[in-house]
Amino acid sequence: MATSQLRKGVLDLVVLSSLAAAPAYGGALLERLARHEALEVVAGTLYPLLARLRRAGLLDAHWEESPSGPPRKVYTVTPEGRRRLGELKQEWRSLQGAVEHLVAGAEGVGSHGQE
């Protein structure tokens, strides 16, 4: 349960980062994220997230012809999305630093909770 909540909490950051690096259609993005097993991103999670980010003005989408099959909706990060991505990266670094500090400190704590 806790692990899935952690994953959900970082998906905006992961999706915006991935699309900022290279625009993609949903299926390609899903494949890209699936390479990182710890994320466990599935279509039922990704597509509603893409829709939410688009409604928030953080993503834009346009249709592109596919060399094999129907046209695909390609997602790109908007200028507002890039700004939000910068904020999320900053928040992530701050949170990561705090957690690492506390976890490292907890390793040195004795059985009575004192360092």
pLDDT mean over 13-31: 97
**Residue-averaged pLDDT of the chain:** 90
Residue type for position 113: G
Q: What is the pLDDT of residue 40?
A: 87
Q: Quick one: residue 113, left, alpha or beta (phi over 0 = left, psi -120 to 50 = alpha)?
A: left
For residues 74-102, give the mean pLDDT: 95
User: Taking residues 51-56, what's their average pLDDT?
Assistant: 98
Q: Which residue has the higher pLDDT, 46 or 105?
A: 46
> Is 22 contained in some domain?
yes
How confident is residue 115, by pLDDT bands cut at 50, 70 and 90? Answer: very low
Q: Range of 92's domain?
A: 2-107
φ/ψ of 108, rounded to 5, equals -95, 0
88 belongs to a structural domain: yes
* Res 45: pLDDT: 92
pLDDT score recorded for residue 87: 95
Tally of structural domains, the chain: 1
Task: Indicate whether 112 belongs to any domain.
Answer: no
pLDDT-derived band at 38 (thresholds 50, 70, 90) equals: confident
**Residue 114 vs residue 65, higher pLDDT:** 65
The CATH number of residue 33's host domain is: 1.10.10.10
State pTM to two decimals. Answer: 0.85
Task: Compute the distance between CA of residue 88 and CA of residue 37 in angstroms, rounded to an integer.
Answer: 22
Model pLDDT, residue 109? 64
